[in-house]
Amino acid sequence: MGMWETRSRPFFLSRPGIGLWRDHMRKLNVDRYRKILEQERDRIRNEIDVVETRIGIGDTGPALSELADYDNHPGDMGTETFEKEKDLALRDNFRSMIGRIDEAIGKIDRGTYGECDRCGREISMGRLDAVPWAIYCVECQDIIEGR
């Protein structure tokens, strides 16, 4: 018998709580969560396209200002700069969200969806319903955010 096995099953299946974890995973409808995550990823990708079109990324020419035919007032130029910076920040946030969603989908593929990446405990279904891309339980998220 190997070092990591008990008489009846491998060591990793003998750990306390592993049966509870399997029960939790059975309760989770991972196909439902995958669908939610994929729909959200598609929605966010569409938002990125809208934002990039608005700020002129991907165009063959420079982005045209709505004030291009008029004398630019310094206040108007400041507003336009602010709007472009806001759109760039939105795009970066959307890209970050896609990364989190892809991470959650990867956890589904690996069979670890619903498991906290920090402590290994289960993430409550209520949290996953509210934030399907969550990779930390509420307690660990609070610790990470310093609350």
Task: Assign 3-class secondary structure to 15-50.
Answer: CCCHHHHHHHHHHCCHHHHHHHHHHHHHHHHHHHHH
The fold of 24-58+69-144 is: Four Helix Bundle (Hemerythrin (Met), subunit A) (1.20.120)
Write down the pTM of the prediction.
0.69
Of 26-30, 45-49, 134-138, the range with the lowest mean pLDDT is 26-30
- Does an H or E element contain 51, and which? helix 30-55
CB 138, CB 127: distance < 8 Å? yes
Does 5 have pLDDT greater than 70? no
Map out the domains of the chain as residue ranges. 24-58+69-144
Bridge partners, residue 115, by sequence: 122
> What CA–CA distance (Å, rounded) separates 131 from 37?
10
Q: What is the DSSP string of 114-146?
A: TB-TTT-PBPPHHHHHH-TT--S-HHHHHHHTT
Model confidence over 42-94: pLDDT tens digits? 999 999 999 999 888 754 444 445 545 456 666 667 788 888 899 999 999 99
Token code pair at residue 5: 């096995």
CB 97, CB 134: distance < 8 Å? no
Find how far residue 99's CA is from the centre of its chain.
5
> What CA–CA distance (Å, rounded) separates 35 from 23?
21
Provide the 3-class DSSP secondary structure of residue 101.
helix
CB 136, CB 123: distance < 8 Å? yes
Does 32 have pLDDT greater than 80? yes
